[in-house]
Amino acid sequence: MQRCLSRTAGDVTGSNAMENSVLGASVSSNHGAYEFRILQAGTLPLQPDGSVAVGTEHRCTSVLIWPANERPSRSNTICVDPCFTDEGFRQTAAPVLCQLGLSVSDLSYCFVTHEHRDHWPKFPTEQPDSLRPLPISPTGAGFPGLSTVPCPGHSPRLRALRLRSPENHDVWIVGDAVLNLEWLQAWGYYWPNFYDVAAIVKTWRSVATILEADIIMPGHGEPISVTADLMRQLLTSFGDAEFSSVCPEVTKRLEQRLNDLVCRDRPALGRVQNTSQ
């Protein structure tokens, strides 16, 4: 018998959900929660089947976060993976910063998920002097509600940044531990980086950890909502993933997560009985 854990997150999909999140949060005074906006929509030319999408930029996902009960300002904004292409900055970062009443020089802290060059701070203009590394311990000391989670595989020292949204969504910004939805569903790893067997297995274990999230912000794609349907797909296909037989515990963790989601979405028995009276 598997254990049901209660969760309060609803179903959230795509960038519209991000807009809803921000709008919903604007009336919140939720201590320890964080607002977030996408500053650069991540894209990746290389597809899981090995084909290359011509004309698609290699650009990472960049996210701006700040405490939900504060206005974003020079003292409280955190930029995750602020590696901007000229086009990526122009399309999203510039209008979002303008909408928030911020300039690049108002960005306070940066958090880099891993040391690869396509995630390291890079701005179309000079890097702002205001930007400094986020002083955060694994427990979030200094920034209540923020924490980091080791997610090795794609890179040995890759860390996800974990936060709680004002709607109580468990949001993980994971860099290339998950590239995007297509690569996740294909159980693909970024093979140009020359993974060995250990790195592939660590990747699957990190993916199983990350799927505890309600919303995943992947390294090169749109936000991913973790739903029972997604978990069923991943469970079905994991047997075909390379070296999945080396890490059977991943299957167990996926099953547990699916069970948790199904229990969460199932109406409480008492509520059904009351309705029928």
Contact track, Zn ion, 220-239, x by CB under 5 A: --------------------
Per the listing, tokens 């997610």 go with 151
Interatomic CA distance for residues 52 and 245, integer angstroms: 29
* 170, β-bridge pairs: 164
Contact track, Zn ion, 180-199, x by CB under 5 A: --------------------
Q: Which is nearer to Zn ion, 35 or 176 (CB)?
A: 176
Output the smallest distance, CB 26 to Zn ion, in A: 31
Output the smallest distance, CB 119 to Zn ion, in A: 6
95-to-13, 36, 105, 179 alpha-carbon distances in Å:
22, 15, 15, 25
Output the smallest distance, CB 111 to Zn ion, in A: 15
Contact track, Zn ion, 60-79, x by CB under 5 A: x-------------------
Q: Are 82 and 121 in contact (CB under 8 A)?
A: yes
Q: Which is nearer to Zn ion, 46 or 102 (CB)?
A: 46
- Count helices and strands (H / E) in the chain: 8, 10
Instruction: Taking each helix axis as running N to C, give the angle between helix 228-238 and helix 248-265, from 0 to 180 degrees, rounded to the nearest 10.
Output: 160
Q: Which is nearer to Zn ion, 176 or 214 (CB)?
A: 176
Position 81 contacts Zn ion (CB under 5 A): no
Binders of Zn ion among residues 135 to 174 (CB under 5 A) are none
Neighbours of 152 (CB within 10 A): 17
Interatomic CA distance for residues 136 and 147, integer angstroms: 7
**Residue 67 main-chain phi, psi, to 5 deg:** -60, 135
Output the smallest distance, CB 115 to Zn ion, in A: 11
Strand ranges of the sheet holding 215-218, from the earlier edge strand across to the other edge: 147-150, 159-164, 170-175, 215-218, 224-225
Reduce the DSSP state of residue 168 to 3 states and report it: coil
Q: Which of 81, 106, 167, 176 binds Zn ion (CB under 5 A)?
A: 176
Reduce the DSSP state of residue 63 to 3 states and report it: strand
Q: Which is nearer to Zn ion, 189 or 238 (CB)?
A: 189
Q: Which of 35, 81, 106, 118 binds Zn ion (CB under 5 A)?
A: 118
Binders of Zn ion among residues 11 to 30 (CB under 5 A) are none
Q: Which is nearer to Zn ion, 176 or 222 (CB)?
A: 176
Total site size for Zn ion, rule CB under 5 A: 4
Q: Which is nearer to Zn ion, 37 or 220 (CB)?
A: 220
Q: Which is nearer to Zn ion, 57 or 242 (CB)?
A: 57
Please name which of 50, 138, 65, 155 lies closest in space to residue 102, comparing C-alpha atoms: 65
Output the smallest distance, CB 90 to Zn ion, in A: 20
Output the smallest distance, CB 116 to Zn ion, in A: 6
Tell me which residues touch Zn ion (CB under 5 A): 60, 118, 176, 219
